[in-house]
Amino acid sequence: MKAWDTNFLVRHLLEDDARQLAVVRRELDKAVRTGGRVWLAQLVLVETVWVLGAHLDKHGVLDTLEEVLADDRFLVQDAEQVRAALDHARAKGDFAEHLIAQNARAAGCVKTQTFDRAVKRFGAFEML
């Protein structure tokens, strides 16, 4: 299995550079032909959200991330945490903030301390 960096995923999603897109699609096809998948780290998804934010509104970005999660060609690191962060981000707040809280909860932390008022209603956060 191979992993993708953010620039590979962004090329795949935005199709904004024909030469690089051809390389990305060739590598994705190769992974699928050999019965594999492409591994995506959570950090790649966070960076992708930031890049996509320059091209799409928040809901478009989150919808695109949902499509990546649903795509069987990809294996997303701790996908259940990513899905929970997406669900919370749809309600209020930033995807990255919610993913931080999901990671912390998985590590056994009871709260994520923050100054971000946008996420104060979510039980995973402690406002200071």
Domain encompassing residue 26:
2-77
Q: What's the total number of domains in the chain?
A: 2
Q: Is residue 82 part of a domain?
A: no
Q: Is residue 7 part of a domain?
A: yes
48 and 100 fall within a common domain: no
pLDDT tens digit sequence for 44-90:
999 999 999 999 999 999 999 999 999 999 999 999 999 999 999 99
Q: Is residue 86 part of a domain?
A: no
Q: Is residue 108 part of a domain?
A: yes
96 and 73 fall within a common domain: no
Continuous H helices in 3-118: 6-14, 18-33, 42-52, 58-70, 79-91, 95-106
Asked whether the predicted pLDDT for residue 118 surpasses 90, the reply is no
Q: Is residue 31 part of a domain?
A: yes
Using a cut of 0.75, tell me whether the model's pTM lies above it: yes
